[in-house]
Amino acid sequence: MGALHLFGPDQARVDEDEAPVAAKGFITRRFVQETRQQRDMAEQDGRRARNDLLRIDAEELDRRGRRDADVWRQQQAVVIQPLH
C-alpha cells in the first residue's frame, strides 16, 4: 500500500496504514472524499425528492384546472339548453 496523506488535528502529514491512523484520531483523504461523495449523493437525493414533490403538485394543479374547466363547460351546457 502506498503512502497515505493524512490530516489530523494539527494538520500533520503521516505515512501509515489507515486503521492505526484512524485509531489515533486522524482521517485519510480517501475518508474525506468518500464522506463528501456520500454527502453529495444525499443532497442529490434531496433535490430529486423536492423535484418529485413539485412535479406532483403541478400535476395536481393541472388536474384541478381541467376538472374545474369541465365542470364550468357542463354548467354552461345546462344553462344554454333551450326549455321545451
Give first-to-last CA distance, the chain, whole Å: 95
Residue 47 domain boundaries: 6-80
- Domains identified in the chain, total number: 1
pTM over 0.85: no
Residue 1 lies in a domain: no
Sign for the pseudo-dihedral over CA of 20, 25, 30, 36: positive
- The model's pLDDT over 29-63, given as tens digits with 9 standing for 90+, comes to 889 999 999 999 999 999 999 999 999 999 999 99
